[in-house]
């Protein structure tokens, strides 16, 4: 065993750990659930929400499992009466200035609300509600992202994501005490900031305080997820299309990323992948091959007819002017396999090296 590996104990169970790991990381690997709100595997731990507090033998206070680094022989308890009491008080404090529904639970937007889920498992201490002091923000006219300050728990996942993942810093925590809120410089609308409208702040928000404006909220009950590859560029990001309606009338109503750690994009998307899905159902979209007839007009054709017509046309040019009169331009919207085949057609079939792809410039 390398000197960086050692054993610790979680809830009396021996667990192998590595220097530098947090209690949360070791527990997650061992299948031990520690609730979190401000934690995101893509971000540096912030220890902001205090939901993940655990008992560490020898420590007087409860410590944040998401940020506490393990050391050899450490003994940790993740469930106890003391931790239960802490969670009840903590959830009670969050709910006291949170927007609640008729059941006294945190309101849920289309993005879900993890605080609501936690409050349903551990009954929060009933505390006198306080008026949410973060109202009175100027309306943000951007077409994609809405902020619901009364649902915000100031966990700073959105601002840290914007800084650590996007490296954009368009949003930040502003003001102090009960006036603290998420803000842009000068409270400008996101369109007047450095924001790239990636929507990652929406995805990482644990309470649904950041909401997508474009999609129905909530989505219809029949919405189903379809995993696919984004075709806006060649990176190959995976998308979850939220499809509503039945065959023939089905429509994409929302696009999200698979969760962090599952696919190549690690939970991230750009503005195009997340928001630019209107083209799918646009009336101008070409959905079948077209061949220009002798009348000069485009006429629908089968794929076989269209491919045969293109091959015949290319063959005629080669015959008359030589192979280098032809040029092939591929696209970064195609897959690597499709781009490979394009150069194969150019070089092996028509005998020219005139092959180009837009991302090569
Ligand atoms: S949309 Fe992206 S760039 Fe804009 S504030 Fe959110 S995380 Fe930052
Ligand atoms: S908007 Fe969401 S992610 Fe940002 S601080 Fe508030 S609760 Fe956290
Ligand atoms: S998840 Fe650990 S403090 Fe928020």
The DSSP secondary structure of 90-143, one letter per residue, reads HHHHHHHTS-B-TTSSB---TT--HHHHHHHHSPPPP------TT--PPP---S
CATH number of 224-281: 2.20.25.90
Q: Which two tokens stand for residue 66?
A: 């998401």
Residue located nearest, by CA, to atom 6 of ligand 1: 201
Q: Is residue 58's pLDDT more than 60? A: yes
Residue located nearest, by CA, to atom 8 of ligand 2: 155
Q: Percent of the chain scored above 90 by pLDDT? A: 80
What pLDDT score does 351 carry? 97
Nearest ligand 3 atom to the CA of 155 is 4
Q: Is 197 in the pocket of ligand 1 (CB under 6 A)?
A: yes
289 CA → ligand 2 middle, Å: 47
pTM here is 0.89
| All structural domains of the chain with their residue ranges | 5-79, 145-212, 224-281, 290-360
pLDDT classification of 236: cutoffs 50, 70, 90:
confident
Rounded Cα distance, 135 and 149, in Å = 7
Q: What is the pLDDT of residues 11-23, one digit of tens each?
A: 999 999 999 999 9
Query: Are 32 and 136 within 8 A, CB to CB?
Result: no
338 CA → ligand 3 middle, Å: 45
Rounded Cα distance, 255 and 267, in Å = 12
165 CA → ligand 2 middle, Å: 15
Residue located nearest, by CA, to atom 3 of ligand 3: 47
Q: What is the pLDDT of residues 288-335, one digit of tens each?
A: 999 999 999 999 999 999 999 999 999 999 999 999 999 999 988 788
Phi–psi pair at 15, nearest 5 degrees: -130, 135
Nearest ligand 3 atom to the CA of 47 is 3
Q: Which two tokens stand for residue 181?
A: 């809120």
Q: Is residue 132's pLDDT more than 70? A: no
Residue located nearest, by CA, to atom 8 of ligand 1: 162
Q: Which residues contact 281 (CB under 8 A, 6 or more apart)?
A: 251, 252
pLDDT classification of 247: cutoffs 50, 70, 90:
confident
Q: Which range among 1-10, 228-237, 287-296 has the greatest average pLDDT? A: 287-296
Q: Which CATH architecture does the domain made up of 290-360 adopt?
A: 3-Layer(aba) Sandwich (3.40)
Residue located nearest, by CA, to atom 2 of ligand 1: 198
Higher pLDDT, 194 or 360: 194
CATH number of 5-79: 3.10.20.740
CATH number of 145-212: 3.30.70.20
Q: What is the pLDDT of residues 79-111, one digit of tens each?
A: 999 999 999 999 999 999 888 899 999 998 888
Q: How far is CA 212 from CA 92, 197, 216, in A?
A: 28, 11, 9
197 CA → ligand 2 middle, Å: 16
Rounded Cα distance, 18 and 2, in Å = 9
């Amino acid at each position: 065993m390398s000197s960086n590996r050692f054993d610790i104990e979680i809830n009396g169970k021996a667990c192998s750990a590595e220097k530098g790991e947090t209690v949360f990381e070791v527990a997650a690997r061992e299948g031990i659930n520690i609730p979190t709100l401000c934690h995101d595997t893509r971000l540096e731990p912030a220890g902001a929400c205090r939901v993940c507090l655990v008992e560490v033998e020898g420590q007087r206070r409860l410590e944040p499992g998401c940020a506490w680094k393990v050391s050899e022989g450490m003994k940790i308890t993740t469930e106890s009466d003391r931790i239960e009491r802490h969670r009840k008080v903590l959830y009670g404090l969050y709910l006291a200035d949170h927007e609640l529904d008729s059941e006294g639970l945190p309101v849920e937007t289309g993005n879900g609300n993890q605080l609501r889920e936690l409050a349903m498992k551990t009954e929060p201490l009933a505390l006198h509600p306080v008026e949410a002091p973060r109202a009175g923000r100027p309306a943000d006219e951007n077409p994609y992202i809405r902020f619901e300050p009364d649902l915000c728990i100031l966990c700073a996942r959105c601002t840290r994501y914007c800084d650590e993942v996007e490296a954009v810093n368009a949003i930040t925590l502003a003001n102090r005490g009960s006036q603290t809120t998420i803000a842009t410089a000068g409270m400008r609308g996101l369109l007047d900031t450095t924001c790239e409208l990636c929507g990652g702040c929406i995805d990482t928000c644990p309470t649904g305080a950041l909401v997508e404006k474009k999609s129905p909220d909530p989505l219809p009950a029949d919405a189903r997820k379809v995993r696919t590859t984004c075709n806006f560029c060649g990176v190959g990001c995976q998308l979850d299309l939220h499809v509503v309606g039945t065959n023939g009338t089905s429509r994409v109503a929302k696009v999200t990323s698979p969760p962090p750690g599952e696919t190549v994009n690690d939970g991230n998307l750009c503005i195009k992948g997340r928001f630019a899905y209107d083209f799918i159902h646009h009336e101008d979209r070409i959905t079948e091959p077209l061949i220009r007839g002798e009348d000069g007009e485009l006429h629908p054709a089968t794929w076989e007819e269209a491919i045969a017509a293109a091959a015949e046309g290319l063959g005629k040019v080669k015959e008359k002017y030589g192979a280098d009169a032809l040029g092939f331009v591929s696209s970064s919207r195609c897959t690597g396999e499709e781009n490979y085949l394009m150069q194969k057609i150019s070089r092996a079939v028509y005998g020219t090296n005139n092959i180009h792809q837009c991302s090569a410039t």
